[in-house]
């Protein structure tokens, strides 16, 4: 996906990329490639592939959410910064927490934040299950992209979501995982609100946005799992 097509496809999503945001995404790409030579962040390094499979894919959250509002968002298992860094560049109004269990990745994320001059975003080194215990009903939105199976993610993420907030798991096909997760989602006060399936441009591979709304607070002892 070259820049021209990227801009065109993001417009279809309802996103208008300013020149400044385009420049920040380009700088992010360059930093990603530089750091990837030092540590394993992503196997996808070709620019057009990164723009398609990381940048565009991260922005597909707008299919389910209005990200132009003042919202708090936690990106669980942020890794190389997807979707968190991309969302912050394109939607600077968001207040974002990047959560990762590896200190090296957190160091990288903090460097990206500093180099790009991003504000109201922080990277935290902590295991998700520990962070969740300390931040119950804390975020408007919690998201996770290609981190773990949906049942485990639900245990970790739903407790962090405010009442009437949203947890979105970004996955490929998750039909079986959804079936396996229904009980725990209900126990944690959530409800599967929507499953948005679509094909990303060019390669037409399947993606799903699994949207779970937190309907009520619970006193469950979850999360119990480690990722």
76 contacts 143 by C-beta, under 8 angstroms? yes
Residue 222 pLDDT: 55
Spatial strand order in the sheet of 139-145: 121-125, 95-100, 72-76, 139-145, 161-171, 206-214, 190-199
The 3-class SS string of 92-143 reads: CCCEEEEEECCHHHHHHHHHHHHHHCCCCEEEEECCHHHHHHHCCCCEEEEE
Which band of pLDDT confidence, cut at 50, 70 and 90, is reported for residue 224?
A: low
Rounded distance between C-alpha atoms, residue 200 and residue 83, angstroms: 15
* Secondary structure of residue 76 in the 3-state scheme: strand
Rounded distance between C-alpha atoms, residue 6 and residue 3, angstroms: 5
Residue 221 pLDDT: 52
Residue 227 pLDDT: 44
Worst-scoring range by mean pLDDT, 28-37, 69-78, 142-151, 188-197? 142-151
- pTM of structure: 0.93
């Amino acid at each position: 996906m070259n820049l021209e097509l990227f801009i065109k496809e993001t417009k279809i999503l309802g996103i208008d990329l300013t020149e400044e945001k385009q420049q920040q995404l380009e700088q992010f790409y360059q930093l990603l490639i530089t750091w990837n030579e030092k540590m394993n962040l992503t196997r996808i390094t070709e620019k057009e592939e990164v723009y398609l499979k990381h940048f565009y894919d991260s922005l597909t959250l707008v299919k389910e959410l209005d990200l132009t509002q003042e919202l708090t968002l936690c990106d669980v298992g942020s890794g190389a910064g997807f979707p968190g860094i991309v969302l912050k560049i394109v939607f600077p109004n968001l207040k974002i927490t990047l959560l990762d269990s590896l200190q090296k990745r957190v160091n990288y994320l903090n460097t990206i934040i500093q180099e790009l001059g991003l504000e109201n975003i922080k990277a935290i080194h902590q295991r998700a299950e520990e962070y969740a215990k300390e931040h119950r009903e804390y975020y408007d939105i919690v998201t996770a992209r290609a981190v773990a199976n949906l049942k485990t993610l639900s245990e970790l993420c739903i407790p962090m979501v405010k009442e009437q907030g949203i947890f979105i798991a970004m996955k490929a096909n998750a039909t079986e995982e959804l079936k396996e997760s229904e009980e725990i989602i209900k126990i944690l006060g959530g409800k599967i609100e929507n499953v948005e399936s679509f094909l990303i441009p060019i390669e037409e591979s399947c993606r799903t946005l699994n949207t779970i709304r937190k309907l009520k607070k619970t006193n469950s002892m979850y999360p119990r799992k480690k990722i």
